[in-house]
Copies of this chain bind each other. A is one copy, B any other.
Amino acid sequence: MAADRLKKNGVYDQVVKAFGKRKFVEFGGIEPNPRFETCLKAVALAKKKKVDFLLSVGGGSVLDATKFIAAAIRFRGKDPWDILRTMGGCVKAAVPLGAILTLPATGSEMNCFSVISREKTQEKLHFGSPKVFPQFSILDPEATYSLPRAQVRNGIVDAFAHVMEQYMTRDNRTHLQDRQAEAILKTLVDDADKILAERPDYDSRATWMWCCTQALNGTIACGCVEDWSTHMIGHELTAFFGIDHGQSLAVVMPAVWKHQKQHKKAKLAQYARRVWHVTSGSIDEQADAAIDKTIAFFNSIGMPTRLDAYRITGADIHKVVDRFAERGTVLGENQNITSKEIEQILRLCL
């Protein structure tokens, strides 16, 4: 989160005032898709100053970085990258942390997950640990008023995609969780224009923030098999080509659905009926309508759904495919997406 914006929207002053006479050390300059290398600087500073509480002030990137920093300060091994390599398995302790969230999107304010990128190796990995669950999170809708429209758009798509990674799989016989997921999707669809309005209003921004939180706080995932292949493929597009996280999701998700339609079609059709009020057609046709409606929704808020919008071509995608091949990655709720299928999916994004 740009420190400039925090000063401009008044959040910086509010935080300093709230600290009162308590001592604090500032660390700025955490970038979007927060970098391992930057985090290590913060770890060194925190250790030197014997920091005993971390306060994240900013968006999901700052908070994800703060979670990693919190775990890395207490890490007793040789290489803190192991925190990511073990997906948090090696995290035994962390400095307690709180969050003041100024950009909703990631849901990081109410979960124990964090995504960190490594510049040197162009990797983007995640970890999770109950030790880095925020002690508190403060979400003030007014703090989002100064956000550029592109970041608001990213945040809407991010929340939408988070819901979908948990929902758009198969019939899990989780009737309530399905409807809770659809509640978030429907709210985002209904309110997107108001959330993006040039003159922001409190209620729409509050609704957006709350959608983002509820999308990834674990509630809708209870009892569900999850997908997350869109995120895994999207992370690599961000790592290699620098496109925003939200942008990568809008491109990859419809392609994953097209590729996996045979497995996902019952759920796609349910989504078409309940969120888009599609009432006619076969299951196959309803599933197609679900994909079309979603693409149209993203495009209607100005979000591209093709890689060519970012000048990424067929010649570029081998980088991503090769990495998955090297890692031997297998993705999707059916564990049927290997590097070969990832290439097919990326070709559907061109």
A308 within 8 A of B: no
Interface of A is mostly: helix
Instruction: Select which of B177, B186, B190, B203 is within 8 A of A173 by beta carbon.
Output: B203
Instruction: Report the minimal beta-carbon distance from A41 to chain B, rounded to whole angstroms.
Output: 38
Instruction: Report the minimal beta-carbon distance from A56 to chain B, rounded to whole angstroms.
Output: 22
A256 within 8 A of B: no
B222 near A176: Cβ-Cβ < 8 Å: no
A190 near B175: Cβ-Cβ < 8 Å: yes
A125 within 8 A of B: no
A241 within 8 A of B: no
Instruction: Select which of B182, B191, B203, B223 is within 8 A of A206 by beta carbon.
Output: B223
A211 within 8 A of B: yes
Given A206-B223, A210-B222, A223-B206 in contact, is the A183-B187 Cβ separation under 8 Å? Answer: no
Copies in the complex: 2
Given A180-B180, A206-B223, A223-B206 in contact, is the A187-B175 Cβ separation under 8 Å? Answer: yes
Given A173-B203, A223-B206 in contact, is the A183-B191 Cβ separation under 8 Å? Answer: no
A117 within 8 A of B: no
Given A180-B180, A183-B180 in contact, is the A191-B175 Cβ separation under 8 Å? Answer: yes
A38 within 8 A of B: no
- In the bound assembly, the distance between CA atoms of A111 and B219 in angstroms comes to 16
A179 within 8 A of B: yes
Determine the chain B residues whose CB is within 8 A of the CB of A177 once the complex forms. 210
Instruction: Report the minimal beta-carbon distance from A312 to chain B, rounded to whole angstroms.
Output: 34
Binding site for B on A (CB under 8 A): 173-177, 179-180, 182-184, 186-187, 190-191, 203, 206-207, 210-211, 214, 219, 222-223
14 contacts between A and B (CB under 8 A): A174-B207, A175-B190, A175-B191, A175-B203, A175-B207, A176-B184, A176-B207, A176-B210, A176-B214, A179-B184, A180-B214, A182-B183, A206-B223, A214-B219
